[in-house]
Amino acid sequence: MSAITMRELTKVYPGGVRALDALDLEIADGEFFALLGPSGCGKTTLLRTIAGLEVASGGSVRIGERDVTGLPPGKRDVAMVFQDYALFPHMTVRDNIAYPLRIKKVDRRTRGGKAADTAEELGLSGLLERRPGQLSGGQQQRVALARAMACHPQVFLLDEPLSNLDARLRLEARTFLKRLQRELGVTTVFVTHDQAEALALADRIAVMEGGRIRQVGTPTEVFRRPANTFVAGFIGSTPMNLIDARVHGGELAVGPARLPLPDDSHGQVTDGERLVYGIRPEYLDYSPTAVPGALTGEVVVVENLGSVSLVSLDVPADDTGPADAGSPAGDAGRTSVQVVVPEGAEPEPGDTGWVVPRPGRSLLYRDGTLVTATATAEVPAPRAGAAVRS
């Protein structure tokens, strides 16, 4: 078993930066787990602390049955692929892949054989005698993976392994990585700040901010029901619309517009209460003709995204002032609403448009936290050993 369990894990760097702040997290055996968050939120620190390359200032890390908090990296049975691959430039591909085995004092013949086998699995057989400088970015990435794989670790830690690749190679590499992880079934923690990559690859995602976990869930859970406005704004290729609203006679008032209350907010809100209404641009429908009660305003920007366009409207809204936590900044009394419009139906800047939320897709946030009748704050237990999901 190689589940990873972190309890109140804390890392304070010399100088006082609290990079991990009493973080609790459980990663299941065999899971492909993504760590997502803005630059500086502590992703690399968390991986390095799991690997033993950083000493925890407090709390514990367990891998399987073992408490590894006090163990040096070599005794933890983890392999890490770094942000910059960190290949040895003076060594051949073969020697790079075999290096961890050399450290483990595996004899020369065995390690040569293992390096060749791993290289073959990763399609590197023809490149064994080359040096890293003679490889493409994608090939270097595979060498770094092969080096991590060659010693069959219990845990893979991958720190933005795709970040140096161009967009096309990156897509190829991530499909490859997903297949490889599924075949090997090794517990994998994958750091990225690309939310699309996390959604595409992971069994579960943890979204981090300031050394803490803001939400853990499947890609669907974090996309459909962000637990707070931070996650809502972070996940999704276009951030969720977060609009100041007021409960008014069983409906939500946004300026002159009246919107239905989200399904599971019934009984959870009080009349007159100010909240933040959240809806993804993908879940709004645009109408060029008047829809009674709908959000309406002037089209200010139309961005072509290929098969769809992202349309921004300037909409009159409640003047709730800056006090509401999690409310977007904007001119008092106006707000910007974004809606995804299919090809061929795009309006022109200057047009007046109406937007209508699709049923079951809107959310409410109070003080930045999701208002819900069901207890989604609980983190669902990961499926035991079930990393496989395509």
Q: Which does 174 bind (CB under 5 to 8 A by kind): Mg ion, ligand ATP, none?
A: none
What order do you get walking across the sheet with 58-63 strand by strand?
18-27, 4-12, 58-63, 66-67
At a CB cut-off of 8 Å and minimum separation 6, what does 238 contact?
280, 281, 282, 310, 338, 340
Strands 334-342 and 78-81: unpaired
For residue 294, how far is the Cα from the chain centroid? 32
Piece of the chain touching ligand ATP by CB under 6 A; list 1-9, 13-21, 135-143, 273-281: 13-21
Task: Note whether 338 binds ligand ATP by CB under 6 A.
Answer: no
Which one among 2, 3, 12, 15 touches ligand ATP, defined by CB under 6 A?
Answer: 15
Query: What strands, in cross-sheet order, belong to the sheet with 352-357?
Result: 284-287, 352-357, 295-304, 308-316, 334-342
236 touches ligand ATP (CB under 6 A):
no
Nearer to ligand ATP, 43 or 246 (CB): 43
Rounded to a whole number of angstroms, the minimum distance from the CB of residue 192 to ligand ATP is 9
Residue 44 tokens, joined: 């690399």
- Of the two residues 45 and 140, which places its CB atom closer to ligand ATP in the complex? 45
| Interface segment toward ligand ATP; rule CB under 6 A; list 38-46, 168-176, 196-204, 218-226 | 38-46
Asked if 255 and 294 touch (Cβ cutoff 8 Å), the reply is no
Could you give the string, one character per residue 180-219, with x where binding to ligand ATP holds by CB under 6 A and - elsewhere? -------------x--------------------------
Q: Does 327 bind ligand ATP (CB under 6 A)?
A: no
Interaction between residue 41 and ligand ATP (CB under 6 A): yes
Q: Apex CA 121: angle with CA 117 and CA 126, to 5°?
A: 75
Q: Would you count residue 42 as binding ligand ATP (CB under 6 A)? A: yes
Q: Supply φ then ψ for residue 280, to 5 degrees.
A: -75, 145
Binding site partner of 255, from ligand ATP, Mg ion, none, Cβ cut-off 5-8 A by kind: none
Chain positions 83 to 102 lying near ligand ATP, rule: CB under 6 A, are none
Encoded tokens for 329: 């900044």
Please report, as residue ranges, which positions from 19 to 78 form the binding site for Mg ion (by CB under 5 A). 44
Chain residues binding Mg ion by CB under 5 A are: 44
